[in-house]
């Protein structure tokens, strides 16, 4: 039961983030505060989705998702995504200086 929930949550989170980004983003153009909140929501949903997918992969491989190795893998994945998000924001930050 837990595996099905994690798979469903992962897919739903990634789908919702993609939907919010592509479907709602054109309507929020020009509203700075709403754009920032939307961007933060999309980033968080992607992080949640991919971390849930990593938990599913650990369960599928027969590893304990609560082990130290699993926590290290989650931290590495999260740091990778945060670095990619920072790189995506860097040109916008530089252009506003």
Residue span of the structural domain in which 61 resides: 2-95
- Express each pLDDT in 16-62 by its tens digit: 999 988 888 888 888 888 888 898 999 999 999 999 999 999 998 99
Report the predicted TM-score, pTM, of the whole model to 2 decimal places.
0.82
Distance, CA of 13 to CA of 48 (rounded, Å): 7
Number of domains in the chain: 1
Distance, CA of 71 to CA of 77 (rounded, Å): 10
Smallest CA-to-CA distance from 9 within 46, 42, 39 is with 46
Distance, CA of 40 to CA of 46 (rounded, Å): 10
């Amino acid at each position: 039961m837990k595996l099905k929930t994690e798979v469903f949550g992962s897919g739903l989170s990634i789908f919702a983030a993609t939907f919010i980004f592509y479907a709602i983003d054109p309507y929020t153009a020009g509203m700075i505060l709403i754009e920032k909140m939307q961007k933060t929501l999309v980033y968080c949903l992607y992080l949640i989705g991919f971390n849930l997918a990593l938990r599913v992969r650990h369960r599928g491989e027969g590893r304990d998702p609560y082990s130290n190795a699993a926590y290290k893998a989650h931290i590495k994945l999260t740091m990778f995504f945060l670095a990619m998000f920072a790189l995506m924001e860097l040109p916008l930050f530089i252009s506003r200086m």
